[in-house]
Structure formats: C-alpha cells, structure tokens
Amino acid sequence: MIAGTGYKVDVDLLAFLDPALRSQIKAVHGAPALNSLFQSSVRDLHFVGISSVFDFGPGMRFVHGTKHAAIVAGHLRGAARMRRTAAR
C-alpha cells in the first residue's frame, strides 16, 4: 500500500489554466467550489477526482470516485445536444 498524504488542492497552482480563468474560479481552501454536476463557478468548467474532494468527500481520491466523471460526461453530452437543437 502506498499512502500519498499531504496533497493540497489549490486551483491557483494549476499552471495549465490561464491566469485570467483561474481568477474566476471560486475556491474554498484552495479547492474549486462545485455544484451537484461538478461544475465550478466558471460555466462549463468541471472538476473531478481529487479536486472535487472538498464538495464530494474523500471517495473522490480513489477509483470509487471515477463513476462521478460519468455525471459530468452526461451533463456535457446533454448540453451539446441542446446547443445543436437550438442552432437549427
């Protein structure tokens, strides 16, 4: 067993996100504040896995939490379907 303890989620340290985008993400203790669909305060920006631990609990750190990515995928698929319908 490997115990990877001490990792702290901090959206300000996500260098792959543009600084302007990072500044729009509401965070609690460094972790993004998420709604029930894992969406952050930035529309259509979702977080799963360890970055969702603060809102959804420690199960998000493990494989058990991967099923929640399906929630996000379903939401995005539905949103894309609605955009296509509206464009017609």
pLDDT, tens digit (0-9, with 9 covering 90-100), for 4-54:
666 788 999 999 999 999 999 999 999 999 998 889 999 989 988 888 888
Q: How many domains are contained in the chain?
A: 1
Residue 18 inside a domain? The answer is yes
43 occurs within a structural domain: yes
Q: 16 to each of 11, 13, 19, 25, 28, how far by Cα in Å?
A: 10, 9, 9, 14, 20
Whether 64 shows a pLDDT value over 70: the answer reads no
pTM given for the model: 0.69
Residues with Cβ within 8 Å of 52's Cβ and at least 6 positions away in sequence, in order, are 31, 32, 34, 38, 60, 65, 68
Q: Which residue range forms the structural domain that includes residue 67?
A: 11-87
Instruction: Specify if 19 maps to a domain.
Output: yes
Q: Say if 68 falls within a structural domain.
A: yes
Domain for residue 2, yes or no?
no
